[in-house]
Structure formats: C-alpha cells, structure tokens
Amino acid sequence: MVLITYDVNTETASGKKRLRQVAKQCQNYGQRVQNSVFECLLEPAMLKNLQSRLGEIIDLEKDSLRYYYLGNDWRNRVEHVGAKASLDLEGTLIV
C-alpha cells in the first residue's frame, strides 16, 4: 500500500492541466481518498511505472509529490473517521 499525495501549482493554465494529468494517473492505479490523496495497492514494478509517469508530468520547480509506503500490513496503519467510506482495494472492482 502506497499513499500518494501531491501539490500542483494551478496559477496558470499549464498548472491546471498538470493537476488533471496527475489526478488521472493516480486514479488509474488507486482510489482517491481526499482531493490530492490516493491510496494505491501496487506491485513494485507498477509503482516505478507510476512514479516515472508522474515525474514526467510535474514541474519540479513548482509542484511536489509525496509517497508514503505503508507496506503489506497497511490495514493496521489506516484509520478512517467520517464520510466517504473506503472501497475494498483488494476486493472485486466492477468497471
């Protein structure tokens, strides 16, 4: 389990485009749990692929990405309170 967070500068049209692109890439690999926060269950190769794609999108001078590695025992490290219950990331997803 990897928690991915990002902060993209949206003061320009290109920044808004980068924000949409980052969100779309993260959505392809996990579930959005907050506006700029995604929970992703990823094999190491998939994580490297996603990191590479995100690295090509962001502007290193204006934007930032953070990866929190929660590991296999992630259920004991995540506590949810309030609205928007989480999906079962290991369950069957219907697309």
pTM (2 d.p.): 0.79
Kindly report the three-state secondary structure assignment for every residue of 17-51: HHHHHHHHHHHCCCEEEECCEEEECCCHHHHHHHH
Asked whether the predicted pLDDT for residue 84 surpasses 70, the reply is no
Express each pLDDT in 67-76 by its tens digit.
999 877 776 7
Name the pLDDT band for 86 (thresholds 50, 70, 90): low
Residue 5 has pLDDT above 80, yes or no: yes
Report the half-sphere exposure of 63 (CA within 13 A, side-chain side). Answer: 26
More confident residue, 86 or 68: 68
